[in-house]
Amino acid sequence: MIENIPDNLKKIKICDLSAAANCNFKCKMCFFWRPQKNDGQTMSISDWKKLILQLEEFFGPDLLINISGPGEVLLLKGIEELLLAAGRKFRVSINSNGYVIDDTAAKIITDNIESISISLDGVSARTHDYIRGMPGSYSAAVLAIERLRKKSKTLIITVSTVILDYNLDEVIDLVNWIERSEVNGIIFQAVSLPNNIAYDPMWFKNEFKCLWPQDTEKVRTVMDKLIEYKSQGSKIVNPVKQLECFKEYFLNPQLHIKKLRCEVDNVLKIGSCGDIKICDFSQPIGNVKISPLKEILASELAQEERLKAYECKSPCHLLVNCFHDNGGE
Ligand code: SF4
Ligand code: SF4
């Protein structure tokens, strides 16, 4: 591990590698399945492996590596090699829609990673398949969970659920299902500005109004029930504070967002082309295919971008789902 690591980088505990670049789903709240604007060539498996060595040198083995989109990570050619390389050095987690987890993929996963989060947005195939734009996606996700659990009792399996208008009626039943299942936990996200669309701070009133929970009474009831479940020790992973945040956000999105601050200290994000950005909507501070990680993170541009993010007052809906290090309760 590199000595004299700058103070502001010592808090980084998670590194998100956006390794996947394609998706087989057509989700209603994510448009990574549309052709994406890439300013450069995507990272090869060999580029990611080189980066893993730099991450080990820079941060030591305590970093959690999360391998995710834009897209479905298990569709990435060479994913087995990447999981193997990352799993040798770090604890590794992945996010997946579960669709391609057959017995072979389940073995690769259970042999190399610590945790997997599988998307599940309802207790019925009708709701989940509709939200995910993919017939059969509900049964595939449930089957993937069964396969993984059969192969490993120790793999941490969570379900990741986006709360939006379409599934508000199924959220509580889903938690009840998780309680009875062999899944370790459920992580909720509140629907926010969809991925891979033009920035629109009023998205929830404009083109994507249909995603936004409209019935405020129902929002109150569901969120209060989730808070009660969490307080009683259910398998909900989100802290009570975050669930309260979701409730406030759904009831008053503009006012609520202004109270939060961007968590630039906790997470390092590397994009599919190797770009590092402090803020998702600003310029990259460098590219790991061109410059050493140490140089990029210690640069003046990186410091300027960090300061901008600290002071950012944008009504940015990405904030509501960032609760990386606030401690559970
Ligand atoms: S949410 Fe996941 S599965 Fe759905 S389109 Fe986006 S990357 Fe694909
Ligand atoms: S809160 Fe500001 S700095 Fe953070 S991602 Fe949103 S726009 Fe960027």
The model's pLDDT over 302-318, given as tens digits with 9 standing for 90+, comes to 999 988 888 887 767 77
* Mean pLDDT value across residues 115-142: 98
User: Which residue, by CA, sits nearest to atom 4 of ligand 1?
Assistant: 27
The mean of the pLDDT values for the chain is 90
Q: Which residues contact 117 (CB under 8 A, 6 or more apart)?
A: 93, 94, 95, 96, 158, 159, 160, 187
- Does 312 sit in the ligand 2 pocket, CB within 6 Å? yes
* Mean pLDDT value across residues 287-310: 92
Distance 232 CA to ligand 2 centre (A): 33
Q: Is the pTM of this model over 0.85?
A: yes
Q: Reading across the β-sheet that carries 91-96, which strands appear in turn?
A: 185-190, 156-163, 115-119, 91-96, 64-68, 14-18, 267-270, 275-276, 286-287
- The pLDDT assigned to 2 comes to 55
Give the least confident one: 45-49, 125-129, 194-198.
194-198
CA dist., res. 27 & res. 194, Å (int): 10
- The pLDDT assigned to 90 comes to 96
- The pLDDT assigned to 327 comes to 37
Tokens of 76: 């990435």
Domains in the chain, ordered, with CATH? 8-321 (3.20.20.70)
Tokens of 147: 């396969």
Above 90 in pLDDT, residue 159? yes
CA dist., res. 66 & res. 245, Å (int): 24
Nearest Cα to Cα of residue 17 among 73, 60, 56: 73
Kindly tell me the sign of the dihedral angle through the C-alpha atoms of 28, 29, 31, 33. Answer: negative
Which of 26, 33, 99, 187, when mutated, tests ligand 1's pocket best, judged by the most ligand atoms within 8 Å of its CB? 33
* Mean pLDDT value across residues 218-239: 97
Residue type, 155: L
- The percent of residues above 70 in pLDDT, for the chain, comes to 92
Distance 25 CA to ligand 1 centre (A): 6
User: Which residue, by CA, sits nearest to atom 3 of ligand 2?
Assistant: 309
- pLDDT tens profile 161-187: 999 999 999 999 999 999 999 999 999
SS3 of the chain: CCCCCCHHHCCCCEEEEECCCCCCCCCCCECCCCCCCCCCCCCCHHHHHHHHHHHHHHHCCCCEEEEECCCCHHHCCCHHHHHHHHHHHCEEEEEECCCCCCHHHHHHHHHHCCEEEEECCCCCHHHHHHHHCCCCHHHHHHHHHHHHHHHCCCCEEEEEEEECHHHHHHHHHHHHHHHHCCCCEEEEEECCCCECCCCCCCCCCCCCHHHCCCCHHHHHHHHHHHHHHHHCCCCECCCHHHHHHHHHHHHCHHHHHCCCCCCCCCEEEECCCCEECCCCCCCCCEECCCCCHHHHHCCHHHHHHHHHHHCCCCCCHHHHHCCCCCCCC
- The pLDDT assigned to 328 comes to 34
Residues with CB under 6 A from ligand 1: 23, 25, 27, 30, 32-33, 69, 71-72, 97
Q: Which residues contact 102 (CB under 8 A, 6 or more apart)?
A: 147
Ligand sitting nearest the alpha carbon of 97: 1
CA dist., res. 159 & res. 171, Å (int): 12
Above 90 in pLDDT, residue 75? yes
